[in-house]
Structure 1
Amino acid sequence: MSNMACNETEKHAVNVAVVKDQMLSERNFLFLAELFKALGDYTRVRILFALSQSELCVCALAEVLEMSQSAISHQLRLLRAAKLVRYRKEGKNVFYALDDEHVRNLLTQGYDHILEEG
């Protein structure tokens, strides 16, 4: 492997300065990494997709995904902590939904991306 030096040092310096100026804070990089970590789980993505179709309670999610309610509840806790889902109580029932349109957009864009690749 050859060690080629950059010949465009002026352009390189300008590009580096521009990119450095646009970099996120360490805190925001950590939050972004945690978001993608939460999205990086098969079961959690399935839950998010189901919730993109309709607001559902834990027992309905368990039925849709053919999983135990305790397994669904565990994953929902992680999704709530990542601010990907929200819940509302109606009497003794708790209903879950996507936190906002940003979450729906993440799912849609991710799905569109994999369709392009295929």
Structure 2
Amino acid sequence: MIAPDMLDFLQVVGMLSNWEKINAVQRMQEYIMAHYREEITLQDLAKAAMYSPWHSLRAFSELMGKTPFEYLRMVRLSAASRKLRNTSTSILDIALESAFGSHEGFTKA
């Protein structure tokens, strides 16, 4: 049987671990918001999170319910949608500004 003090300690360690994971995912989200117009790699996100690439991907997916690249696509589409509604910029220009690479890449997203 685990002593009550040890159980309290294990719960605190688990909570700290969760806070660390939450902070890592927040850092990845902030990186995505600041750099969504650029090419972003898993290595970039891992560096922002201060985790390994594998742990970054796992933590993000676990807490957000989607991969960081699904989240990135959502951010890019949202920004492109706002720009389409509020400007007269061409679809191709918006696609390229949003880092989709091409009109086709934008329409497939």
TM-score bracket, shorter-length normalisation:
0.3 to 0.5
Larger helix proportion, structure 1 or 2?
2
Structure-2-length-normalised TM-score: 0.37
Structure-1-length-normalised TM-score: 0.34
Larger strand proportion, structure 1 or 2?
1
